[in-house]
Amino acid sequence: MRLYLLLIALTFATSFLLTPLVRRVGLRVGPAELRDRDVHTAPIPKLGGVAMIVAVLLGVAVASRVDFLSGSFRDPGPALAVVAGALLALVIGVADDLWDLRWYFKLAGQTLIGFVIAAGGVRLEAMPVGWIGIPSESVQIALTVFLIVLTMNAINFVDGLDGLAAGVGAIGAMAFFVYCYWLARTISQYDNSNFSAMLMAILLGACLGFLPHNFNPAKIFMGESGVMIIGLLMSVAAIMVTGDVGAQEGYRFRNIPAYMPILLPVAVIMLPLLDLALAVIRRTANGRSPFSADRGHLHHILVDGGYTQRQAVLVLYLWSAIVAFGSVAFIFKEFDWRIIVGINLLAALGAALLTMWPWLRRSLAAWKKRRGA
């Protein structure tokens, strides 16, 4: 655990210290122009994802030299694929931040990243529920690419308020790290190294290091490169951890909930996935392209409803934490599942009341006014 914590500290420091330098470059090349759907009132430079990607690459390089994590690099393919994917994300993301690429160019770039990852050996070889094998290599690659592109776009859809994507990424990475580390300890008491746990530790540090510069009022945005590196690492970790569990003999994993490898990755990005699904439905119903922009995202609804940017972000942090850590809690057999369900329901109820408070307050005021009249 101490080495994972040092890895988090390393990527945190790198991201935190490098972001101001990247911001200066962003100011020189020109900050992003304001768009109708934006909630900020002054142009702010992008390119913050560059600092995050450099932190990730440094984290992977250092981890590859640590004896404790040597088990994660016995097969160098996945690590090299992650590095190649991160470099592609850097190039595509910077190009989009500078020249605002068309959506189909970005989609093509994300698809290319997915193929690079799959070529490195990171593939979804079995469905986590029931461990149904996927014998076709082409289907494995297609599902892997789809998952990577889906996750990148889901993260992109919540990148609309200061600190939102970085905070949600950090919360998801922390929850996923807890599960992956617990999984490694359960598999073997002698070797606690785990590739997915390593990636989530690296991502956690990179997001936390960037967040102080990005939280409201933001001094810099992560841009497309930051969105893609978060989605890339989360999707790769989800695919790899599925393989970790599926490869084990049955008797060693009777106590691990069979649904966790598929539930947890979905849970940690539930908020972005929900926003993505609602946006696709909303835009398609209005006869528009699913890739067109609007102000109908969850964070826009909260701000338009009466929350400040900070308050809206904190509310969405709360929901992300409840879903992610509420799911992780089920892996610990020390806690009765009924107690966990009860706590989750109470937390969700409290979060729902907090989320609806501006509307409830206005309804209450209107009701009092009618009574007074």
In a domain, 362, yes or no: no
In a domain, 298, yes or no: no
In a domain, 369, yes or no: no
Query: Does 156 appear as a known binding residue?
Result: yes
Q: How far apart are CA 50 and CA 19, in angstroms?
A: 8
Burial 299-336 (b: 16+ CB within 10 A, else e): bbebbeeebebebbbbbbbbbbbbbbbbbbbbbeeeee
The pLDDT value recorded for residue 106 is 93
In a domain, 146, yes or no: yes
Considering its fold, how many domains does the chain have in total? 1
Distance of CA 191 to the CA centre of its chain: 27
The pLDDT value recorded for residue 96 is 92
The pLDDT value recorded for residue 188 is 62
In a domain, 327, yes or no: no
The pLDDT value recorded for residue 171 is 93
Alpha helices in the chain (DSSP H): 2-29, 48-63, 76-99, 103-119, 137-157, 164-187, 195-214, 223-246, 260-268, 270-285, 298-305, 309-328, 337-355, 357-372
The pLDDT value recorded for residue 8 is 97
Q: How far apart are CA 113 and CA 106, in angstroms?
A: 11
Q: What is the separation, in whole angstroms, between the first and last Cα of the chain?
A: 64
In a domain, 367, yes or no: no
Which residues of the chain fall short of a pLDDT of 70? 30-42, 126-132, 187-192, 243-269, 272, 289-297, 372-373
In a domain, 301, yes or no: no
The pLDDT value recorded for residue 30 is 67
In a domain, 333, yes or no: no
The pLDDT value recorded for residue 238 is 86
Q: Which domain holds residue 24?
A: 2-289
The pLDDT value recorded for residue 368 is 76
Cα 111–115–117 angle (5° rounding)? 115
pTM of the model: 0.87
